[in-house]
Amino acid sequence: MALKEDFKDLFEEFDNQAIDKAWSSLVALWPCFFGGSYGAGNSCDDQAILYLIAHLFKVDQKNSPSLATTSRSVGSVSTTTLIDPNLSYSKSFLSSTKYGQKYLLITQHRHGACFV
């Protein structure tokens, strides 16, 4: 399958029209964060790219991420999650959504090339 169709299948909670509207900017942006290729036979890379795009999409929908805290309120109940201030800016940014957190988990053991 193609990247966009795989994305829509995995993240059914997202509105398809909103995905279509944001897609070109998301596809242009994710390679700035991740050096792998989609559909090249590495399922870990494919999953990382899908979760990274989901994170970027969610941040785009919120207009701006909260890098220090995330909060949610429903009725009279609210929760706030503090993000570790010792994290780098990029890890704080990625930690601001559940999709970015999953991306970090998938890529935590990813290392660069081994030179012999």
- Within a domain: residue 40? yes
pLDDT value at position 66?
52
- Structural domain includes residue 81: no
Q: Tell me if 30 is assigned to some domain.
A: yes
**Predicted local distance difference test score (pLDDT) of residue 21:** 95
Residue 46 lies in a domain: yes
Please report whether residue 115 resides in a domain: no
The whole-number pLDDT of residue 22 equals: 94
How confident is the model over 56-91, as pLDDT tens digits?
Answer: 999 888 765 455 556 677 888 877 665 566 667 678
Q: What percent of the chain has pLDDT over 70?
A: 77
At residue 79, the pLDDT reads 74
Is position 76 within any domain?
no
Residues spanned by the domain of 37:
3-64+99-107
User: What total number of domains does the chain contain?
Assistant: 1
Scored b (16 or more CB within 10 A) or e, 11-39 reads: beebeeeebeebbeebbeebeebbebebe
Q: Is residue 90 part of a domain?
A: no
Is residue 18 in some structural domain?
Answer: yes
pTM of the prediction? 0.75
